């Protein structure tokens, strides 16, 4: 029963990039409770532990509530409160001066992953006239999967858990959705499918939370996924268990692919990946024959310099088995609303060529890119060195690159070189502490937006609605619109609500009307390719991709050994004998967020390094011991978790760690930050510029009690 002065609103949780339906209880203008929406067709009354912690985040005593201007030296962490008008007027004035003196390309716009303001950041960069915007993933997260899907099938596909027919087989490849629940592809439908009898196969060096619910676990050596995928293709073709009717009618290049994988036997792959040949055969047969099947792929397959061809190899498994746009398989999105109007036509002529990376990485930064963005290592190098030109200003919206971008020491040096650094965030962070201005961002219950479920596919749309206001916090979209007005940028006259209404026009509703409906989720249409073919040049699934060939890339996928591995650098492996993997998700945190939230931190107070007992034993390391994990680039301090749920010889370290409880401006960023170990160096993937974040070399050592 509703109490006096209390109201419950339906919305969608945006703490991470999941998108769980949520019920928000507001009492006398204050958010008092967040609970899962039992009527949501996606999470159906369930939610991860971060969602209910929203009120704790919103009213946390350390939350930023007003704009701050730096008054001491950069990095001194000394501030004074200023009004929004003073802050934005000064920021706009300094931006205007920089673009007049050095061109708009000398200003970079940065953001975090999966944010509600993601596409508005791209819009702001385009109207400002700078080709240089970035997000910490992109080359190493999601963009390769989107791009390869479009090149191979003509569109992005997602797993179908929502129809009458459920998947019989689910192949989880470098993916742990029971924790990550990414981009509207939530954990709960996955768990329901597994509990209902779907046969799970997990390819992962860790027996992750998802892998523990699977019937098969293939503990692969990090960075060798392409070899395993090629071996599975080999098995499917040689055993004649591919979908012959689909392949003959709806694919091109089968014969070339068949010849290409002749030598890619399971025995060949076993020597590279460590996965037993018989397990590769069993997994391939199960995926191909026990249909419908889905392939749930994750970010780890993109975090290597062979990103394009690794993702391509996996993508071909769907085409060979005909598991595309069928009930219970991997389905194309319905795309029920318009794309966000990013106004790319307003980017001035010649600016695409000035985008850092455009001359090298055609599928990330060039004209063939799905969402053209700058190459991050080159971008930060330009801040430090002025090559190919100097980046003078960086505006960050909801990101903490001191923790979330590879090679933290170079990131730090780069930020110190800037003439202007502006950070918009919820809390003071190691990155924000280096800024000239820190602006208070709105948390998700303070924001009006649309959530597409899943992202890119757009099978459903949900209203995220503002229900409270705390301090002077503002949505990042509104901050960008206000800056755009001060800079007299085109499109600045459009309000956020008008943009949302434009996107909803095909459905015949306004944003205000959608708030009362909450969700629009039309029935899914399968076999769309049978009407018009696939949206590729051949109108078929391109097993052999001529578009890649014309762009100068291999039309068929080939495995390449990671540049830093036991096989490629045996001498270095004598000093660093173990294989390092990073980036596994934790339910308590979203990347570098939430370490100051007491209810979440209590559950996971320390940064963890997972190691196998056989790896720990020679070093005298036991469960709970503090250890150092070192790479050729640095060392960090972690707490050991000794477990059989990880491949021998592999060390998995938590990422995103800093310590808000410690003194600023560093906040302990140099202690347990995984990106002190990672590399942003060449060689890069030739198409996307992806670099090696997993499969690197490392060593471990127990820290004496006195240390």
The CA distance from 8 to 368, in Å, is: 46
Same domain, 286 and 410: no
C-alpha count within 13 angstroms, C-beta hemisphere, residue 479: 27
* CATH code of the domain covering residue 13: 3.30.200.210
- According to the 3-state scheme, what is the secondary structure of 414-473? HHHCCCEEEEEECECCCCHHHCCEEEEECCHHHCCEEEEECCCCCCEEEEECCCCCCCCC
Residue 261 belongs to a domain: yes
Single residue among 272, 307, 332 that ends a domain in this structure: 332
Residue 549 belongs to a domain: no
Residue 461 belongs to a domain: no
16: domain range? 6-58
Residue 113's pLDDT is 87
Residue 25 · residue 8 · CB < 8 Å: yes
Answer whether 0.95 is exceeded by the pTM. Answer: yes
Residue 554 belongs to a domain: no
Same domain, 354 and 477: yes
Same domain, 388 and 424: yes
* CATH code of the domain covering residue 612: 2.40.40.20
Same domain, 101 and 166: no
Same domain, 220 and 126: no
Same domain, 202 and 120: no
Residue 453 · residue 520 · CB < 8 Å: no
- Alpha helix positions (H), 544-695: 546-550, 570-575, 598-601, 613-616
In this structure, what DSSP letter does residue 397 have? E
Number of domains in the chain: 4
Which parts of the chain have pLDDT scores under 50? 1
**Vertex 309: Cα angle to 262 and 632 (nearest 5):** 115
Same domain, 52 and 75: no
The CA distance from 451 to 474, in Å, is: 19
Same domain, 601 and 478: no
Name residue, tokens 């792929």: 297
Same domain, 169 and 314: yes
Same domain, 290 and 388: no
The CA distance from 414 to 401, in Å, is: 11
Single residue among 298, 332, 366 that ends a domain in this structure: 332
Give per-residue pLDDT as tens, 530-544: 999 999 999 999 999
Same domain, 364 and 418: yes
Across 601-632, b (16+ Cβ under 10 Å) vs e yields beeeeebbbbbbeebbeeeebeeebbbbbbbe
Residue 262's pLDDT is 98
Single residue among 276, 307, 332 that ends a domain in this structure: 332
* CATH code of the domain covering residue 231: 3.40.228.10
Same domain, 363 and 241: no
């Amino acid at each position: 029963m509703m109490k006096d002065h209390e109201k419950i609103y339906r919305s969608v949780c945006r703490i991470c990039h999941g998108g769980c339906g949520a019920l928000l209880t507001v009492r006398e203008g204050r958010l008092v409770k967040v609970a899962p929406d039992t009527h949501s067709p996606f999470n159906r009354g369930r939610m991860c532990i971060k969602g209910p912690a929203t009120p704790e985040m919103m009213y946390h005593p350390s939350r930023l509530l007003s704009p701050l201007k730096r008054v001491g030296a950069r990095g001194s962490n000394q501030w004074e409160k200023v009004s929004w008008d003073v802050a934005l007027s000064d920021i706009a004035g300094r931006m205007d001066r920089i673009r007049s003196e050095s061109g708009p390309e000398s200003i970079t716009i940065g953001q975090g992953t999966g944010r509600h303001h993601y596409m508005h950041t791209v819009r702001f960069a385009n109207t400002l006239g700078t080709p240089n915007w970035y997000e910490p993933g992109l080359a190493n997260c999601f963009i390769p999967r989107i791009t390869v899907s479009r090149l191979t099938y003509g569109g992005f596909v997602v797993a179908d858990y929502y129809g009458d027919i459920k998947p019989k087989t689910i192949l989880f490849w470098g993916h742990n959705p029971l924790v990550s629940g990414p981009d509207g592809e939530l954990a709960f439908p996955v768990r329901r499918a597994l509990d209902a009898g779907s046969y799970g196969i997990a390819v992962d060096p860790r027996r992750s939370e998802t892998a523990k619910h699977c019937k098969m676990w293939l503990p692969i050596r990090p960075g060798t996924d392409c070899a395993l995928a090629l071996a599975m293709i080999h098995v499917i073709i040689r055993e004649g268990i591919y979908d012959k009717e689909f392949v003959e009618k709806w694919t091109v290049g089968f014969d070339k692919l068949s010849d290409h994988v002749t030598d890619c036997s399971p025995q060949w792959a076993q020597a590279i990946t460590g996965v037993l040949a018989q397990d590769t055969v069993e997994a391939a047969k199960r995926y191909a024959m026990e249909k419908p099947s889905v392939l749930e792929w994750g970010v780890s397959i993109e975090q290597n310099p062979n990103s394009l061809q690794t993702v391509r190899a996996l993508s071909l498994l769907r085409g060979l088995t005909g598991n595309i746009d069928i009930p219970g398989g991997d389905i194309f999105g319905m795309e029920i609303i318009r794309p966000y109007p990013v106004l790319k036509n307003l980017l001035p002529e010649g600016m695409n060529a000035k985008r850092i990376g455009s001359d090298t990485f055609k599928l990330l930064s060039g004209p063939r890119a799905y969402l053209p963005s700058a190459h991050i290592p080159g971008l930060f190098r330009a801040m430090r060195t002025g090559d190919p030109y100097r980046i003078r200003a960086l505006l960050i919206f909801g990101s903490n690159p001191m923790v979330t971008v590879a090679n933290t020491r170079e990131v730090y040096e780069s930020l110190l070189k800037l003439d202007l650094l502006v950070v918009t965030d919820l809390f003071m962070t190691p990155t924000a502490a280096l800024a000239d201005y820190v602006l208070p961002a709105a948390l998700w219950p303070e924001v009006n937006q649309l959530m597409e479920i899943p992202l890119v596919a757009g099978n459903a749309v949900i209203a995220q609605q503002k229900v409270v206001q705390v301090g002077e916090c503002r949505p990042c979209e509104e901050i960008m619109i206000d800056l755009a007005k001060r800079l007299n940028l085109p499109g600045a006259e459009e309000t956020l609500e008008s943009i949302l209404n434009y996107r909803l026009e095909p459905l015949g509703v306004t944003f205000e009307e959608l708030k009362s409906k909450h969700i629009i989720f039309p029935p899914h249409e399968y076999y769309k390719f049978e009407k018009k073919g696939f949206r590729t040049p051949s109108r078929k699934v391109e097993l052999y991709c001529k578009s890649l060939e014309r762009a100068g890339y291999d039309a068929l996928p080939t495995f390449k050994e990671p540049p830093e591995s036991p096989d490629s650098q045996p001498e270095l492996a004598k000093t660093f004998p173990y294989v390092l993997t990073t980036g596994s998700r934790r339910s308590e945190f979203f990347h570098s967020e939430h370490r100051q939230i007491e209810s979440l931190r209590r559950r996971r107070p320390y940064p963890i390094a997972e190691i196998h007992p056989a790896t720990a034993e020679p070093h005298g390391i036991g469960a709970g011991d503090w250890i150092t994990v070192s790479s050729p680039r640095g060392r960090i301090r972690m707490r050991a978790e000794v477990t059989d749920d990880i491949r021998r010889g592999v060390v998995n370290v938590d990422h995103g760690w800093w310590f808000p409880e410690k003194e600023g401006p560093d906040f302990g960023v140099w202690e347990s930050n995984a990106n002190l170990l990672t590399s942003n160096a060449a060689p890069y993937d030739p198409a996307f510029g992806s670099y090696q974040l997993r499969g690197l070399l490392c060593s471990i050592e127990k820290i004496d009690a006195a240390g």
